[in-house]
Copies of this chain bind each other. A is one copy, B any other.
Amino acid sequence: MNTRIVELRKNVPNKNDTLAEDLRSRFHAAGVTVFNWVSSPGTGKTELLKQTLIRLKAQGFHSAALVGDLETDNDAIRLAESGSPARQIKTHTLCHLEADMVERNLEGWKLEDFDFLFIENIGNLVCPAAWDLGEDVRIVLLSSTEGEDKPLKYPKLFHTADAVVLTKMDLAGPCEFDRHKAEANVFAIRPGIPILATSAKKGQGLEELCNFLVSFRKDA
């Protein structure tokens, strides 16, 4: 599942990647499964993650979340309403998260207490592609409101993804979103990658998404 990320790391070895690899080892040793969620601004990452945290908690899993934004604490506040701990990483001018920001923001958390750590990246389809955060699984979210062409226009990010989650599918009708076309464009960049369709608002696909996330647990 991590082939792409490993390839990327081999191609561009740097300080971030070394730290990300250290983080990955720490996460594995602690038994926590880590997801890095990346998308455009406004795809509904935070709402979907909040609903996901609520469902995983109801199933007895312990999760934590880190959420990146240039400014505001709004998203961490929203995520914490799920009952799971959430911390905001404010990057101010920076357009992506880096491994050292993740590391700093883990301080005081006992990783062994968590089954899952979710990292919600800055809304950006370009720059986060190049920054390994020590995650096990990189999930790229694509909203039905954005159009079907984004995988072709931003191939690098989709190329480094391990799964794609379609969001706001309740708006597919009004937005005239062609799911098959979008999926074909995703497959053109990453053949065979898992694609899940969701609507946080309507609860569509959330059970499948949670099952998918849980399937990455070593003990699953």
Interface residues of A (CB under 8 A from B): 40-42, 69-72, 74, 93-95, 122-127, 143, 145-147, 149-150, 152-156, 168, 171, 174-175
Residues of B with C-beta under 8 A to A94 = 126
Jot down 25 A-B pairs with beta carbons below 8 A, ordered by A. A40-B41, A40-B123, A41-B154, A42-B143, A42-B145, A42-B147, A69-B153, A70-B153, A70-B156, A71-B154, A72-B149, A74-B149, A74-B152, A93-B126, A93-B156, A95-B124, A122-B126, A123-B125, A123-B153, A124-B124, A124-B125, A124-B127, A171-B171, A171-B174, A171-B175
Q: What's the Cα separation between A212 and B125 when bound, in Å?
A: 31
A58 to chain B, nearest CB (A): 26
Contact yes or no, A171 B145, CB < 8 A: yes
Given the interface contacts A126-B122, A127-B95, A175-B171, does A146 sit within 8 Å of B70 by beta carbon?
A: no
As for how many copies of this chain the complex holds, the number is 2
Q: What's the Cα separation between A218 and B90 when bound, in Å?
A: 42
A129 to chain B, nearest CB (A): 9
Q: What's the Cα separation between A40 and B125 when bound, in Å?
A: 9
A170 to chain B, nearest CB (A): 8
Q: What's the Cα separation between A70 and B171 when bound, in Å?
A: 27
Q: List the 5 closest A-B pairs by CB distance, nearest first.
A: A42-B146, A145-B145, A95-B126, A174-B174, A40-B41
A198 to chain B, nearest CB (A): 16
Q: What's the Cα separation between A155 and B91 when bound, in Å?
A: 12
Q: What's the Cα separation between A156 and B147 when bound, in Å?
A: 26
Select from chain B the residue with minimum beta-carbon distance to A42.
B146
Besides A41-B146, A42-B143, 19 other A-B contacts (C-beta < 8 A): A40-B42, A40-B123, A41-B125, A42-B146, A42-B147, A70-B155, A71-B154, A72-B149, A72-B153, A74-B153, A93-B156, A123-B125, A123-B154, A124-B124, A145-B145, A145-B168, A145-B171, A171-B174, A171-B175
